[in-house]
Amino acid sequence: MKPPPFGYVRPRSLTEAAALLQSHGDGAQILAGGQSLLPTLSLRLSQPTLLIDINAVEDATPLEERDGTLRCGARVRHVELERSELTHRRAPLLAMAMPQVAHVAIRNRGTPCGSVALADPAAEIPACVIALRGDVVLQGSKVSRIVAAEDFFLGLYETARGAAEVISELRFPIAEPDDRFGFAEFTRRLGDFAIVGIAAAAHLEDRHVVDLRFVVFGCEARPKLSAVARELANGCACDAVPIERIAKAVASEIDPMSNAQGDARSKRLQTRALSARVLTHMFAGEAA
Amino acid sequence: MSTAEASDESLAVCVTVNSQLVTEHVLPRMTLVDFLRHRLGLTGTHVGCEHGVCGACHVRLDGRVVRSCLLLAVQAHGAIVETIEGLSASGEIADLQEVFVRRNAMQCGFCTPGMLMIAAELVSAGHALSREDIREALSGNYCRCTGYQAIVDAIEEVVRSRHGHVQ
């Protein structure tokens, strides 16, 4: 249970980190919070030749609001995002999700950018960034580029990040006053990875749903943006969203992996129950 | 840039541990918990699962509780680390310790240092806490003996005595 030998560098900038990835090739890995990476080292599931520690970079964006987006840079820890008043005001979905990301001591060290880079299918932040139409900013040694979160997650721990790119920022559009959000997950123990989870955002105009982004995670190899939820909800008055119908349709739409956490059938049932719960939170009480 | 591109190359770590500045040379692969125990002899920080699940290795790094098995010793360079020995010696957690003993909030005691570290962060938050909040905060710490009840009771009592009430 001890990490294998590896080299270690602590660059002063993200561009330098990207250049190191470029020059060292496959054996090099970025070390951000390390809360997922270190266990894989101790368990000898990964054996990098070089860790590039980005905790001392001086060019990382802080957590800040700029140009209509909430920006979360590479050195921002989960705990900062969880507790910031900016998160609560500007991205309420993240404020709902953050307390369910792992445990306190892990949130004190882990980073949202790192979570997105890892792309664990049961992680909360990838699902939220998709639901919120967020962007992932990737820094190479020379240029940076922006990828929409929806196009970023490609499969199980697979993303659109290039081998010599570092995630420098997540960008979340600022919530509109009429937006509604819902988040829930099913776990054996608070803070564990979700067996099934849902992150949802709805944009309303004149009390009608114009865009429901309903993301189911933990079931498939990557977070799934539900097409059927959008189709059934869009255009509905916000007090007439067909909650049960959508919940049932979402559960049929997913293709859950059977694993130690449960078989596909259980996960469908859990997804249906959880979907109804989230939609009720978002839209019920309208009739009153 | 701090560099040890070869894995058998040691790096200098200058770190303040329990108010004392120490400088040691370590290999990049050494975890912070092994550094504290084997290099500095601070064995109050326990090694349980060694992959971030059990919470027995909690220490404070720059004021926040972290898992010391999920940090490399080289990453503590320039940081302030406080271990259970430091918190105990300063008297910061004297009330927690007294109540843990009085309420029998431990059996074998293996998880207790990690529990006290997280409890200290929780009770110093400066606001009222429900039992549910306490259980949530402890969700990342394993105790295989007590069933947690007495630990929650103990922390609840300290919250009440420090802040006057529990929600």
Count Cα neighbours of A102 within 13 Å in the Cβ-side half-sphere: 26
pLDDT, tens digit only, all 288 positions of chain A = 899 999 999 999 999 999 999 999 999 999 999 999 999 999 999 999 999 999 999 999 999 999 999 999 999 999 999 999 999 999 999 999 999 999 999 999 999 999 999 999 999 999 999 999 999 999 999 999 999 999 999 999 999 999 999 999 999 999 999 999 999 999 988 888 899 999 999 999 999 999 999 999 999 999 999 999 999 999 999 999 999 999 999 999 999 988 888 899 999 999 999 999 999 999 986 543
Residue of chain A with shortest Cα separation from B74: A8
Q: How many domains does chain B have?
A: 2
**Domain with B79 in it:** 11-87
Whether residues A55 and B75 touch (CB distance < 8 A) is answered with yes
A163 vs B: CB within 8 A: no
> Residues 6 or more apart from B41 whose CB is under 8 A from it?
none
Residue A217: DSSP 8-state: E
d(CA A251, CA A188): 20
Q: Are residues B102 and B74 in the same domain?
A: no
Q: Are residues B73 and B128 in the same domain?
A: no
A42 vs B: CB within 8 A: yes
Nearest-CA distance from B69 to chain A in Å? Answer: 8
Choose the final residue of a domain: B87, B109, B126.
B87
Residue of chain A with shortest Cα separation from B137: A104
User: Which residues does chain B have within 8 Å of residue A35's beta carbon, measured at their own beta carbons?
Assistant: 52, 67, 70
Residue of chain A with shortest Cα separation from B34: A2
Nearest-CA distance from B16 to chain A in Å? Answer: 18
CATH number at residue B100: 1.10.150.120
Q: Are residues B116 and B53 in the same domain?
A: no
CB B83, CB B94: distance < 8 Å: no
Domains parsed from chain A with CATH numbers: 7-53 (3.30.43.10), 64-173 (3.30.465.10), 180-283 (3.30.390.50)
Choose the final residue of a domain: B87, B121, B140.
B87
Residue from A167, A168, A152 nearest A61 by CA: A168
CATH number at residue B66: 3.10.20.30
Amino acid at A140: G
pTM here is 0.95
ipTM: 0.95
Give the alpha-carbon dihedral of A32, A33, A37, A42, to 10 degrees: 130
A183 - beta bridge partners?
A199
Phi, psi of B53 (to 5 degrees): -100, -35
Q: Are residues B59 and B27 in the same domain?
A: yes
Task: Let me know if residue B4 belongs to a domain.
Answer: no
Q: Are residues B16 and B70 in the same domain?
A: yes
pLDDT tens track for B118-154: 999 999 987 788 999 999 999 999 999 999 999 999 9
d(CA B53, CA A103): 9
Task: Let me know if residue B3 belongs to a domain.
Answer: no
Q: Are residues B24 and B62 in the same domain?
A: yes
Residue from A135, A143, A116 nearest A32 by CA: A116
Task: Let me know if residue B108 belongs to a domain.
Answer: yes
Choose the final residue of a domain: B60, B87, B114.
B87
CB-count burial class (<10 Å; 0-12, 13-18, 19+) for B49: middle
Helix axes B112-123, B94-102, angle to 10 degrees: 130
Nearest-CA distance from B131 to chain A in Å? Answer: 14
d(CA A238, CA A236): 6
Q: Are residues B80 and B119 in the same domain?
A: no
Of B50, B118, B139, nearest to A190 by CB-CB distance is B139
d(CA A271, CA B137): 27
Q: Are residues B66 and B116 in the same domain?
A: no
Q: Are residues B76 and B118 in the same domain?
A: no
Task: Let me know if residue B6 belongs to a domain.
Answer: no
Q: Are residues B23 and B80 in the same domain?
A: yes
